[in-house]
Amino acid sequence: MKTKGLFALLVFALLSVSSFAQEKNKRFGFELSSGASMPTSKPGEVKLNIGYGFEGVLDYRFMPHAGIYVGWGWNSFGAESSFVGSDVCFEETGYIFGLQFKHPIGTKPLSLFLRAGGLYNHIEIENNTGDIVGDTGHGFGFQIASGIDYSFGKNWSITPGLKFNHLNKGVVVEGVTTNLIHNYIALRIGILKKF
């Protein structure tokens, strides 16, 4: 009796793996994207210049149009003057995670995607010689994003889109705490490989 039960369980597992492997649409994707980042706030009353950044994102589709994603990102913004001196750089780095919805548009090789999730990032402030003069430490924020997935080859896509990031952290510089509310819109163009 045990042998029949184990055999049935093994056959069921093999059929499940086989159907998963033969699925037409791949469940995983890895995306690299880069582009301009435009500040929409003044963290610590500092006027930031338009910056740039990049992200690497791994996603997993667990339903036909829904999935989860995780990744890492880096964004850099310069400033002529700030509370720590002139000609400084604000660098935000950290992790992203959340839910993704992707739906085809008609019969074309085009899909619309929406993402909503969290950030676990920190902001480092570097002076004009490249020394770190302030670090907020990691903390939670949020990200929302939207864009288009255009398939151009077998399991390859180009992914232009917009992202909005929000992070609110304090930084201590020479014993003085400054609150940094950092909001920005990122214009990204990425390459996605599905597997």
Which of these ranges, 11-15, 38-42, 55-59, 144-148, has the smallest mean pLDDT? 11-15
The structural domains of the chain, ordered by start, are 26-194 (2.40.160.20)
> Would you report the helix, strand and coil content of the chain in percent, each value rounded to 5?
10, 70, 20
What gap in Å lies between CA 92 and CA 74, rounded to an integer? 6
**Using CB atoms within 10 A of its CB, is residue 173 exposed (0-12), middle (13-18) or buried (19+)?**
middle
pLDDT (0 to 100) of residue 91: 97
Token reading at 116:
């909503």
- Please report, for the chain, how many H helices and E strands are present, in that order: 1, 9
More confident residue, 190 or 5: 190
What gap in Å lies between CA 55 and CA 94, rounded to an integer? 10
What gap in Å lies between CA 55 and CA 30, rounded to an integer? 11
pLDDT (0 to 100) of residue 110: 94
User: Which residue type sits at 116?
Assistant: A
pLDDT digits (tens, 9 = 90+) for 72-95: 999 999 999 999 989 999 999 999
What gap in Å lies between CA 193 and CA 21, rounded to an integer? 17
What gap in Å lies between CA 149 and CA 140, rounded to an integer? 28
Residue 17's alpha-carbon distances to 61, 153, 161, 166, in angstroms, are 16, 26, 34, 40
The dihedral through the CA atoms of 123, 126, 131, 134 has a sign that is negative
Output the average pLDDT for the chain: 90
pLDDT digits (tens, 9 = 90+) for 99-121: 999 999 988 899 999 999 999 99
User: b or e along 126-139 (b: 16 or more beta carbons within 10 Å of the residue's beta carbon)?
Assistant: bbeeeeebbbbeee
If pLDDT is split at 50, 70 and 90, which confidence band does 9 have?
low
Share of the chain above pLDDT 70, in %: 88
